[in-house]
Structure 1
Amino acid sequence: MCLILLAWQDNPDVPLIVAANRDEFFRRPTTGVHWWGTEPDVLAGRDELSGGTWMGVTAGKRFAAVTNFRDGAPAAGTLSRGDLPKDFLLGDLSAREYCDAATARGGEFGGFSLFVSDGSELWWTSNRGDTGPSMVQPGIHGLSNALLDTPWPKVVDGKAAFAEVAATDDGSADPEDYLAVLTDTTKAPSGSLPDTGVPRLFEKLLSSRFIRMGSYGTRASTVLRIRADGSLDLTERQFSWSGATSTTTHRIASST
């Protein structure tokens, strides 16, 4: 994942709304969102190279998503970042307990930022910076390849566009409205680019919400809504280097 826009307890009808883009090399083998058939049952994509995932949810409404941290430093850590959301979704630790454990193991992974929710609380942590695990407060949040709510242009503008859709969503808004937010290709002005240790040309190409860089770019756009009545829907649109390839939606009915 390289951009996660999220509304947490900001809408009484839909306590969690997520719109996210996964950016990756197109050659990396991937299976799109599907039910894993595990116990607990996990709905997520799968990175076939490492077996992990970038974002997912369970039938019990556990949610997790991860982004990598771009700082120009050499790759470190022996484990795949995709293990972090996978292990939370398959486990039973609370969000706080899992964030504490993930932070303690931070040196085993490359740079990451991680969201996890057990349905009651939403927590965030990273193995970069010195903030430690923190409980996410109600509101609109954005995460790219940095710390939570770091004001990169794609995060600031993305949050504003996302908030307009989420504010009036009673749980029945068209996922296309969120997907339109995610497919914006506007590059940030050169003077507003972050300095993450990569060449400025790359910073420019990576500064849009939706990315196209030849062999690398946005592989999937995902919209997740968990409603107050216990129902959820997850829509994923997959992309190849040449454009959109498929769109699928998975649903769980109300528990009431």
Structure 2
Amino acid sequence: MCLLTFQWQPDARVPLTIAANRDEFYARPTLPLHAWPEAGGGQIVAGQDQQGGGTWMGVHQPSGRLAALTNYRDPGHNRADAPSRGGIVTDFLQSPLGADKFAQALAARSDAFNAFNLLLFDGQQLVAFESRHRRHFAPQPGVWAVSNADFDTPWPKLVQLRRAFAEVLQAHQAAESPDISPALEAALWNLLADTCVADDADLPTTGVGLELERALSAAFVHLPHYGTRASTLLQHARSQVSVVERSFGAGGVEAPLGTVRLRLDFGG
């Protein structure tokens, strides 16, 4: 997951709404959103990185736990032998620990991984984790976003998506309905499909060179060998999660399986 925006309204009928893009190399084998074979204690519902075995965003049924991860862009400090960060998501989904306790325990071992950001929801508490600082915090109600830097770092695509996301949710009263309406879905797909790049003067400097910084400044990325592989919309209500995912291949072409829609019910 390389660009994620979310609305946190803990007292609303729908406390958590997410729109996100996952960027990855096209050659990295991936399974789309699906229910994984059950392992004692419940079932993970997520896409799956077949190389590392984990996922970038998933939900656990029947507990309703949710986690989503973005990588921190720092090519000069990445280690080729570091374990896959996608396993952190599955660890939380299957953990008995609450979000805060899990984040506390994770801080002690997060240096084993290349840098990342993590969003955790245990059904009651929402926690954001930044491995680079070994820091976790509870986001205040409102609209947030994270890409490949710390939470709410004002990269152009993050600022634009967060603002537009808030406007769309308000227009469609998304926090009032547990289902993603067709109109809301269409509006959010448009936001995630934006291929406009930022002006060079507004680009961050992350060590990948100007040409690549420019290409990665779009919400929807499509390079010859790397780009947006999945776009995901999710609404987490009190006893239900609605999730829709679109998968893409090289050049931003939608994958043959197209769109996957799932509705998960759990005790609330």
Q: TM-score band (shorter)?
A: over 0.9
**CA distance change for structure 1 residues 131 and 79 in 2, over 3 Å: closer, same or farther?**
closer
CA RMSD of aligned residues (A): 1.6
Q: Does 2:109 align with 1:100?
A: no
Task: Classify the secondary structure of the residue corresponding to 2:46.
Answer: strand
Whole-Å separation in 1 of the counterparts to 2:266 and 2:9: 18
Distance 1:121 1:3, change over 3 A: same
Moved over 3 A (4+): 253-256
Aligned to 1:4: 4
Mapped to 2, the partners of 1:85 and 1:117 lie a distance apart of 11
1:204 equivalenced with 2:242 (yes/no):
no
- Retained in 2: the 8 A contact 1:10–1:139? no
SS of the residue corresponding to residue 52 of structure 2 reads: coil
Which residue is 1:248 aligned to?
260
Q: CA deviation at 1:159?
A: 0.3
- Return closer, same or farther for 1:82/1:137 CA change in 2, 3 Å cut-off: same
Q: Which residue of 226, 240, 251 maps to 1:231? A: 240
Post-superposition Cα deviations, 1:60-101, rounded to whole Å, max 9, x if no partner, equal: 210101111012323226211101111001111110111112
Measure, in 2, the Cα distance between the counterparts of 1:53 and 1:61: 16
Give, in whole Å, the separation in 2 of the partners of 1:62 and 1:196. Answer: 32
| Mapped partners of 2:224, 2:12: distance in 1 | 41
**Larger helix proportion of the pair:** 2
Question: Secondary structure of the equivalent of 1:204?
Answer: helix
Letter in 2 for 1:227: A
Aligned-partner Cα distance in 2 for 1:202–1:195? 10
d(CA) in 2 for partners of 1:28, 1:238: 13
Paired letter, 1:113: N
2:118 counterpart of 1:127: no
Q: CA deviation at 1:198?
A: 1.1
1:247 alignment partner, SS class = strand
Q: 1:111 — aligned with what?
A: 115
In structure 1, what is the Cα distance between the partners aligned to 2:140 and 2:74?
26
SS in 2 for 1:101: helix
Amino acid at match of 1:182: L
Aligned to 1:17: 17
CA distance in 1: counterparts of 2:220 and 2:74, whole angstroms: 20
1:191 is aligned with what amino acid?
A: A
Tell me the residue number matched to 1:136: 139
- Give the Cα–Cα distance (whole angstroms) in 2 for the partners of residues 189 and 151 of structure 1: 14
Q: Which runs of 5+ in 1 are unaligned?
A: none
Q: Distance in 2 between matches of 1:14 and 1:110?
A: 33
CA 111–26 in structure 1, closer or farther in 2 if over 3 Å, else same:
same
SS of 1:24 mapped into structure 2: strand
- Whether the 8 Å contact between 1:10 and 1:140 is mirrored in structure 2 is no
SS in 2 for 1:14: coil
1:130-171: CA deviations, max 9, x gaps? 361111211100000000111101110000111112222232
Deviation, structure 1 residue 180: 1.4
Give the Å deviation of 1:255: 5.3
Aligned residues between the structures: 254
Q: Which amino acid aligns with 2:95?
A: G
- Comparing 173-182 with 147-156, greater Cα deviation is found at 173-182
Alignment match, 2:78: 75
Q: What is the aligned counterpart of 1:51 among 53, 67, 73?
A: 53
Task: Judge conservation of contact 2:110–2:134 (CA < 8 Å) in 1.
Answer: no
1:13 to partner: Cα distance: 2.6
Tell me the distance in 2 between the aligned counterparts of 1:85 and 1:31. 16
Tell me if the contact between 1:53 and 1:82 (Cα under 8 Å) persists in the aligned partners: yes
Counterpart-to-counterpart distance in 1, 2:76 and 2:149: 13
Q: Note the C-alpha offset of 1:227.
A: 1.6
Match status 1:188 vs 2:198: yes
Shift of 1:253: 4.2
